[in-house]
Amino acid sequence: MKWAIVALALVVVANGVALLSVRRERAAPATLATIDVCAGDLIGGSASDEPPALRLVVAPESLSMPAGLDAPGLRALGFTESVIAAVGWTPDSTFRWPRPRPAWVRLRQRRDSLAQLAVVEVAPRRALLTPDSASIVVRGLVGMRSRWSGPAPTPTGDHDHAALSRVAARGVIDPTVVELIPAQLHLDRLQIATLRAALAGTVGCAQKRQAVIANGANGGIWVEAVR
């Protein structure tokens, strides 16, 4: 009987610790940021087998390098000097792709029609990212990828096609946020019902609603409200 009691206690304590820490975190959110939500950002709900959630969609290409992904920032994340020195260069046969490193990531929503999130800052510790009400902070993994590098766009936004033929495009080593943790935020049944009803029949970001994302003092993140 004592084994069963200890096993029961383990389950109760594990759940209790998780619930108490969440409750304490949610009692006093550190920041509240409002973001636009499109129909394509929603997952699950109603008859779906997937749990209802709001996807954190990060823009695939950042036009500017996020703060914290320069050489000192990469060093602070634990990347080796040989990897840092190779950033911006085409990898040769001796280059060994490093494993991703955990980091804290500040995301800010772009003001374009897609309303995707852009990574604006990366840091090894959350305390290094000062809270503000225009961005959200989540965990993430920073890794190296091969980015296609060609001639830069002209000031008008067009590509110089003559330059494209003169300079062969090549893949260069580029630090980037490869994963957000969590990659989606849970929505309760009322939140998903509200958003689904408001965005029903829309495609992409033709219509938008708003979600208030809360960041807790200890790194927690949740959807506080939708409207």
Interface residues with another protein (CB under 8 A) are 1-4, 6-8, 10-12, 14-15, 18-19, 22, 44-46, 48-53, 77-78, 80, 82, 96, 98-102, 139, 141, 181-182, 185-186, 188-189, 192, 220-222
Q: How far is the CB of 102 from another protein (least distance, A)?
A: 4
Q: How far is the CB of 99 from another protein (least distance, A)?
A: 5
Least separation in angstroms between residue 192's CB and another protein is 7
Which two tokens mark 84? 């840092």
The residue (of 42 and 118) whose beta carbon lies closer to another protein is 42
For residue 36, the minimal CB distance to another protein (Å) is 19
Return all residues near 153 (Cβ < 8 A) that are at least 6 apart: 159
**CB neighbour list of residue 102: distance below 8 Å, 6 or more residues apart:** 139, 140, 141, 142, 181
For residue 6, the minimal CB distance to another protein (Å) is 6
DSSP bridge partners of 34: 212
Residue closer to another protein by CB (options 205, 226) is 226
* Cβ distance to another protein smaller for residue 6 or 63: 6
Q: What angle do CA 41, 136, 144 make, to 5 degrees?
A: 80
Q: Which residue, among 221, 199, 219, has the nearest Cα to 40 in the 3D structure?
A: 199
**Cβ contacts of residue 178 below 8 Å, gap of 6+?**
100, 140, 141, 142, 143, 145
Q: Which is nearer to another protein, 19 or 164 (CB)?
A: 19
- Identify which of residues 73 and 205 has a Cβ nearer to another protein in the complex: 73
Q: Which of 32, 44, 40 is nearest to 57 (CA)?
A: 40
